[in-house]
Amino acid sequence: MYTLEQTQEFVRKFISENKFTHEPEGLYEPIEYVLSIGGKRLRPVLCVMAFNLFSDDINNVIAPAMGVEVFHNFTLLHDDIMDNADYRRNMPTVHKKWNDNTAILSGDAMMVEAYKQLLKYKGKNFREILEVFTQTALEVCEGQQYDMNFETQLNVTENEYLKMIELKTAVLIAAALKIGSLAAESSMEDAVNLYKYGYNVGMAFQLQDDYLDVFGDFDVFGKKIGGDIISNKKTFLLISALNIAKGETLELLKSTLRDSNIHADKKIKIITDIYIQLGVDKLSTIKMKEFLDNAFIYLDKVNVSEKKKEELKKFAISLSERSN
C-alpha cells in the first residue's frame, strides 16, 4: 500500500510525463498549459487511494483517475471564462493568456480528452465507471448553472447553497473515489461508502475554499483575496451573515453589497469585519468540521483494515487544515 505522498508523486509524475502536445498547437497548447500549472491533484489522488485500499496495481487505475483530473481542469477553464477571472493558481487564465474562443474550444477538446483518458482503462466495471463519470459530469454543469443563477437570485438559502456546492464540487470528488473503488472491483457497498466519504470531504473542501477566499493569504492561496466579496458571491459566509445580521449591521452589510462605486479594498474590509463580528468565520469552520466528521463515519464503514484507511484519514485532515 502506498502512502499519501507516494500516491501524490505517482500522479504528478504521470501527468508530467503524459503531455498533450499535438497539432494544431492552438488547440492543445492551452490544454497542456492548464494541466501543467498543477494544483493539488485532489481527485486523481483520491481515485488512486480508493483503488489502493483493495489493490496495489495502481497503474491499472491511472487512466480513469486522469480522466477525472482532465475533466476537472476543463471545468476550471470554462468557469474562468464565465466568471471573467484573470488568474488561476497565480497564473493568467487561458482566456486572458489567449482569448475567449481559444478557451471555449480548448475546453471542449479537453472534455473529449477526459473521455479519451477513460477509454484507455482496460479493467473491470468499464461501463459502470463511464456511467458514474457521465452522470457526475452533468451534475457539475448543473452546479455551475445554480452558481450563476445565484448571481441574480436575491435570497439564496443555506440549503440551496449547500446543494450548489454538492453539485459543483463534492460529487466529482465523491465520483473519483467511487471510480477508484469500482476499478478495484470492491463491493458496491464499499464503493458507495467511499462515494459518501468523498462527498463529505468535498463539501468540507469547498467551505474551506470559500473561507480562504476571505481569510487566506494571496501568496499561499494563489487567488486574489476577497474576490468573492467584490463580486457579491453568495458563499456560506455571506448567506450566514445575511441570516444572522440585525439592525445597523444588516443595513451596513446590505448597503455595502449594493454600493457599486465603493473601492474594492474598502468593501473587503467592511464585509470581512462584519463576518468576524458576527462570527460567521467560526460558523463556517464548525460546518466544515461537521462534514469532515461525517466523512470519517463513512470511511469507518469501508470493509478494509483500519491501517489501510489511515492515509485517507490523514489526507482529509490535511485538507481541512490547509491554507491553500
Is the Cβ–Cβ distance between 88 and 223 less than 8 Å? Answer: yes
Q: Does residue 92 have a cis bond before it (omega within 30 degrees)? A: no
- Gap between the Cα atoms of 94 and 30, Å rounded: 6
Which residues between 231 and 250 bind its own copies (CB under 8 A)?
none
Binding mask 156-195 for its own copies (x = CB under 8 A): ----------------------------------------
- Shortest distance, CB of residue 104 to its own copies, whole angstroms? 6
Q: 209-237 b/e with 16+ CB inside 10 Å = b?
A: bbbbbbbbeeeebbbebbbbbeebbbbbb
- Gap between the Cα atoms of 192 and 182, Å rounded: 10
- Shortest distance, CB of residue 37 to its own copies, whole angstroms? 21
Output the nine-digit C-alpha cell for 67: 480522466
Closest CB to its own copies among residues 2, 126:
126
N- to C-terminal Cα distance for the chain? Answer: 27
Closest CB to its own copies among residues 36, 149:
149
Binding mask 84-113 for its own copies (x = CB under 8 A): ----------------xx--xx-xxx-xxx
Our finding on whether 82 is near its own copies (CB under 8 A) is: yes
Output the nine-digit C-alpha cell for 131: 456511467
DSSP string, 247-269: HHHHHHHHHHHH-TTS-HHHHHH
- Shortest distance, CB of residue 79 to its own copies, whole angstroms? 9
Closest CB to its own copies among residues 108, 290:
108
- Shortest distance, CB of residue 227 to its own copies, whole angstroms? 18
Closest CB to its own copies among residues 139, 210:
139
- Give the dihedral of Cα atoms 308, 310, 312, 317; nearest 10 deg: 180
- Shortest distance, CB of residue 323 to its own copies, whole angstroms? 31
- Gap between the Cα atoms of 20 and 91, Å rounded: 19
Which residues between 4 and 43 bind its own copies (CB under 8 A)?
23-24, 26-27
Closest CB to its own copies among residues 145, 305:
145
- Shortest distance, CB of residue 6 to its own copies, whole angstroms? 31
Binding mask 124-163 for its own copies (x = CB under 8 A): --xx--xx--xx-xx--xx-xxx-xx--------------
DSSP string, 198-244: HHHHHHHHHHHHHHHHHHS-HHHH-S-TTHHHHTT---HHHHHHHHH
Q: Is 124 in a helix, a strand, or coil?
A: coil
Give CA separation, 297 vs 87, 176, 178, 196, in Å.
37, 19, 16, 9
- Gap between the Cα atoms of 201 and 152, Å rounded: 29
- Shortest distance, CB of residue 76 to its own copies, whole angstroms? 12
Among 12, 96, 116, 224, binds its own copies (CB under 8 A): 116
Closest CB to its own copies among residues 128, 290:
128
Closest CB to its own copies among residues 144, 256:
144
Given the rule CB under 8 A, which residues bind its own copies?
Answer: 23-24, 26-27, 78, 81-82, 100-101, 104-105, 107-109, 111-113, 115-116, 119, 126-127, 130-131, 134-135, 137-138, 141-142, 144-146, 148-149
